[in-house]
Copies of this chain bind each other. A is one copy, B any other.
């Protein structure tokens, strides 16, 4: 008889994973991808932005959870500033312009559902990001830097 085997919890050691430039949008904004889910499309990543830097306008097609680990940031379209320890919950179908506050670098832990789309100053699409593009950027970085890649799409 077939038996039902649950999956063990996944532990992803962040010290084993590289910070990868978030090309083509920026060479100084960096991502440390932690996990993607090829079934649901969920992406879990760290995000690092030098103080004072602007990332540009982007659309969220799904919900995004942002936990700020260090530094401070805001959206040009809103009044609040998120600091270390704060939660930002970005509802599906919203558009924002990201700005790290001057000073300390900003580091965040981010859970993305659906896709992101970055826009140029004229509002044209510069690129869409989903689990495949995040994973591909990580694999290309490993190849270029002769790092042994981890399969960040597997849960077992």
Beyond A1-B143, A2-B149, A115-B61, whether A109 also contacts B14 by CB under 8 A is no
What's the least CB distance linking A47 to chain B, in Å? 12
What's the least CB distance linking A66 to chain B, in Å? 9
Q: Are A115 and B62 in contact, with the CB atoms below 8 A?
A: yes
Q: How far is the CA of A4 from the CA of B11 in the complex (A)?
A: 21
Q: How many residues of A contact B (CB 8 A)?
A: 65
A25 at the interface (CB under 8 A from B): no
A102 at the interface (CB under 8 A from B): no
Beyond A4-B139, A139-B4, whether A63 also contacts B86 by CB under 8 A is no
Question: Known contacts A7-B94, A92-B131; can you find 10 more A-B pairs with CB under 8 A?
Answer: A7-B38, A8-B94, A10-B90, A38-B91, A39-B92, A44-B87, A61-B114, A61-B115, A111-B111, A113-B113
Beyond A15-B85, A41-B62, A109-B109, whether A8 also contacts B91 by CB under 8 A is yes
Nearest B residue (CB) for A110: B67
What's the least CB distance linking A84 to chain B, in Å? 8
Q: Are A9 and B94 in contact, with the CB atoms below 8 A?
A: yes
Number of copies of this chain in the oligomer?
Answer: 4
Beyond A139-B1, A143-B1, whether A132 also contacts B87 by CB under 8 A is no
A65 at the interface (CB under 8 A from B): yes
Q: How far is the CA of A80 from the CA of B16 in the complex (A)?
A: 14
What's the least CB distance linking A103 to chain B, in Å? 18
Q: Are A87 and B12 in contact, with the CB atoms below 8 A?
A: yes
